[in-house]
């Protein structure tokens, strides 16, 4: 790995079974503390440390062997040299960048780029021969990623899961085998009591430093949640999170997104996210939120929310990220924006907060820039929209997150839609949000909120996401959504393949695009509202398939980084106090990776 201290972006090679050699990019994330008081700097430091406590929980949820692999590789690095040392360092970097042995696109483990006999000899030298033999398959073989991750025992049957009732399906629980060999449902907050306790201490310290009463109430509720894990505590914490107005914020939980649970889409994963409000786009964001009732009233699906309490309208924020841990540290995708809380009841009765991540978005742009646009858009499209695509993508991300808050279930399928849709839920919901982002951009253009040029750039930024999804087997939720959209749009003539310069490029037929977007959004929205798992499955089977262009796209993007790591600065400490001086450690030396 290139460890040049001052490099804005460093690249790390990696390989996977049956895949072309790849590389990931790691970018430094900029953070501005100039507007913070000294107490706010201290509070920020404690919040960052609280968030870091979620990282070992996430690793355990993803793969119980991640910690052991980290220890093994670190021990081997201590006695290695030359090319073998470089290969081990690269592997450790990728292990940390993904927070597990696997990437999610494709769902494959990384392979150590060294001979097995050489590493075995190193293990013997380091006194790690037993550990090597147990973990060697991760390093040299194609090891499948379980759909259950580490939330359910592999031999747990559907019937026994059903016997566990609602408790067994709670988002912040795991099912484990007790000392008597029986299955037992346990709160994450109990299972990882040590890590939650460490986070609580930092949250208490932060609470003593803020003068914002609404944020104090949120931190009090979050401490109770991390202590008990009860549904009441989680909902109270969500309520106060949605309502508080502190410019410095923390998302911290043992169970947020459910993408790791590919078996039942029921179990959330641990995450920490500390942010500072970025006010640069506040005027535009306010106009987007003001439009939500109008968008809901005119949505193309059947079951609209006809009575919208202004108090439950989504809050929309552009924020700069001070720390990401747990579920935010996976790959190769990077979280661009997010709508929380996930709890359907909270969203409908209290509201949601929709965040677009500004500084990490810029860091991601450093890694890949406009490579895909130059490769796959026509010259005419590049000339017209090339300079707008980054900003357009940010706006689409905001609208996408608003989309997660819209619509309602039909009277026969009220409550959480994932309990009806199960394994089909995540891909269907991501499809709906992506389409909503495009549809609402066109509506807002008609209202004069967005220019025609920016609206079309938003559509083209989504086209690039669709095309780039075709280089993967469609298994991950976002990737499935974009693959389905591409094939649906192409079937309905909204996407055209154009031969230009001897290469296939893509463009929209703008005359029919809005109608195609609206038609697919209506279809997907109604499937969700009806909890129609069969219909969702049929839609996926029809449109979510490996495109014949995959080998060509793979070849044309072989030099583009696949995988994005964020290198966050740490606040240098003097004694027990945090200073404003930002220090960038080596990527794998970030504190979140060193916690247990």
Residue spans per domain, the chain? 9-30+64-148+564-594, 278-556
Say how far residue 245 (Cα) sits from the centre of its chain.
Answer: 24
Give, for all 596 residues of the chain, the pLDDT tens digit. Answer: 444 445 678 999 999 999 889 999 999 999 999 999 999 999 999 999 999 999 999 999 999 999 999 999 999 999 999 999 999 999 999 999 999 999 988 889 999 999 999 999 999 999 999 999 999 999 999 999 999 999 999 999 999 999 999 999 999 999 999 999 999 999 999 999 999 999 999 999 999 999 999 999 999 999 999 999 999 999 999 999 999 999 999 999 999 988 899 999 999 999 999 999 998 888 898 899 899 999 999 999 999 988 777 677 778 899 999 999 999 999 888 898 898 998 888 988 888 898 989 999 989 988 877 788 999 999 999 999 999 998 999 899 999 989 998 999 999 999 889 889 999 999 999 999 999 999 999 999 999 999 999 999 999 999 999 999 998 889 889 999 999 999 999 999 999 999 998 899 999 999 999 999 999 999 999 999 999 999 999 999 999 999 999 999 988 988 888 889 999 999 999 999 999 999 999 999 999 999 99
**Tally of CB atoms within 10 A around 342:** 20
Model pLDDT, residue 286: 86
Residue with tokens 């793969």, as numbered in its chain = 63
Calculate the alpha carbon distances from 359 to 302, 318, 323, 394, 591 in Å: 38, 9, 11, 11, 20
| Rounded Cα gap, residues 20 and 311, in angstroms | 51
Query: Is residue 421 within 8 Å of residue 490, measured between CB atoms?
Result: no
The tokens for 536 are 């969702």
Query: Is residue 587 within 8 Å of residue 7, measured between CB atoms?
Result: no
SS3 string, 204-224, reads: HHHHCCCCCHHHHHHHHHHHH
Peptide bond into 332 cis (omega under 30): yes
| Rounded Cα gap, residues 370 and 252, in angstroms | 33
Angle between helices 389-403 and 282-290 (to 10 degrees): 40
For 526, the 3-state DSSP assignment is: helix
Model pLDDT, residue 345: 86
Model pLDDT, residue 304: 92
Model pLDDT, residue 4: 45
Model pLDDT, residue 3: 44
Beta bridge partners of 173: 187
| Rounded Cα gap, residues 28 and 568, in angstroms | 6
Peptide bond into 172 cis (omega under 30): no
Model pLDDT, residue 557: 87
Angle between helices 452-469 and 389-403 (to 10 degrees): 80
Four-residue CA torsion sign, 588, 592, 593, 594: positive
| Residue among 204, 160, 201, 167 at smallest CA distance from 181 | 160
Model pLDDT, residue 7: 66
Please, which residues have CB within 8 angstroms of residue 236's CB and are 6 or more apart in sequence?
A: 221, 224, 225
For 535, the 3-state DSSP assignment is: helix
| Rounded Cα gap, residues 300 and 519, in angstroms | 7
| Residue among 410, 404, 408, 456 at smallest CA distance from 432 | 404
Query: Is residue 535 within 8 Å of residue 527, measured between CB atoms?
Result: yes
End-to-end CA distance of the chain: 24
HSE of 145, CA atoms in CB hemisphere, 13 A: 23
Instruction: Starting at the earlier edge strand, list the strands of the sheet with 9-14.
Output: 9-14, 22-28, 564-567
Angle between helices 116-126 and 66-77 (to 10 degrees): 80
Query: Is residue 40 within 8 Å of residue 50, measured between CB atoms?
Result: no
């Amino acid at each position: 790995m290139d460890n040049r201290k001052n490099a804005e972006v460093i690249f790390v090679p990696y390989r996977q079974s049956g895949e072309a050699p790849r590389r990931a990019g790691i970018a430094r994330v900029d953070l501005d503390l100039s507007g913070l008081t000294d107490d706010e700097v201290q509070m920020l430091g404690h919040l960052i440390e609280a968030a870091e406590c979620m990282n070992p929980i996430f690793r355990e949820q993803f793969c119980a062997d991640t910690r052991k692999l980290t220890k093994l590789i670190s021990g081997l690095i201590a006695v290695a040299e030359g090319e073998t040392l470089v290969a081990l360092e690269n592997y450790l970097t990728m292990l940390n960048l993904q927070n597990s042995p696997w990437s999610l696109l494709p769902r494959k483990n990384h392979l150590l780029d060294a001979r097995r006999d050489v590493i075995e000899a190193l293990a013997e030298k380091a006194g790690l021969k037993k550990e090597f033999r147990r973990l060697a398959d991760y390093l040299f073989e194609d090891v499948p990623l379980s759909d259950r991750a580490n939330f359910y025992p592999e031999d747990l049957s559907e019937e026994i899961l059903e016997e566990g009732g609602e408790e067994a399906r709670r988002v912040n629980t795991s099912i484990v085998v007790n000392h008597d060999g029986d299955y037992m449902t346990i709160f994450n907050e109990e299972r990882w009591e040590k890590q939650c306790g460490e986070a609580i201490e930092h949250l208490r310290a932060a609470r003593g430093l803020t003068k914002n009463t609404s944020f104090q109430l949120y931190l009090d509720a979050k401490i109770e949640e991390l202590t008990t894990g009860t549904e009441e505590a989680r909902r109270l914490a969500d309520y106060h999170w949605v309502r508080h107005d502190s410019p410095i914020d923390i998302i911290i939980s043992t169970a947020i997104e459910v993408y790791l649970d590919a078996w039942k889409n029921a179990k959330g994963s641990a995450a920490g996210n500390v942010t500072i409000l970025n006010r640069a786009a506040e005027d535009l964001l306010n106009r987007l939120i003001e439009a939500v009732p109008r968008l809901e009233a005119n949505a193309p699906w059947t079951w609209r929310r006809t009575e919208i309490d202004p108090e439950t309208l989504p809050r929309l924020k552009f924020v700069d990220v001070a720390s990401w841990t747990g579920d935010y540290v996976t790959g190769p995708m990077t979280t661009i924006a997010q709508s929380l809380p996930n709890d359907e009841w909270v969203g409908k009765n209290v509201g949601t907060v929709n965040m677009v991540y500004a500084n990490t978005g810029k860091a991601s742009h450093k890694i890949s820039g406009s490579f895909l646009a130059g490769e796959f858009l026509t010259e005419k499209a590049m000339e017209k929209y090339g300079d707008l695509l980054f900003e357009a993508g940010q706006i689409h991300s905001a609208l996408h997150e608003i989309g997660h808050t819209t619509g309602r279930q039909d009277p026969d399928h009220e409550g959480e839609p994932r309990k009806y849709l199960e394994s089909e839920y995540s891909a269907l919901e991501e499809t709906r949000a992506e389409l909503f982002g495009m549809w609402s951009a066109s509506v807002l253009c008609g209202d004069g909120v967005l220019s025609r040029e920016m609206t079309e750039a938003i559509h083209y930024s989504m086209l690039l996401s669709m095309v780039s999804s075709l280089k993967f087997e469609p298994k991950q939720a976002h990737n499935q959504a974009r693959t389905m959209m591409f094939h649906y749009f192409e079937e309905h003539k909204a996407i055209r393949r154009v031969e230009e310069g001897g290469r296939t490029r893509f463009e929209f037929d703008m005359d029919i695009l809005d109608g195609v977007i609206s038609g697919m959004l209506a279809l997907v929205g109604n499937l969700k509202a009806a909890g129609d798992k069969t219909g969702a499955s049929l839609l996926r089977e029809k449109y979510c398939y490996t495109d014949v262009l995959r080998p060509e796209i793979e070849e044309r993007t072989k030099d583009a980084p696949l995988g994005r790591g964020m290198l966050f600065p740490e606040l240098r400490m003097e004694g027990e106090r945090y200073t404003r001086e930002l220090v960038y450690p080596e990527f794998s030396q970030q504190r979140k990776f060193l916690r247990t």
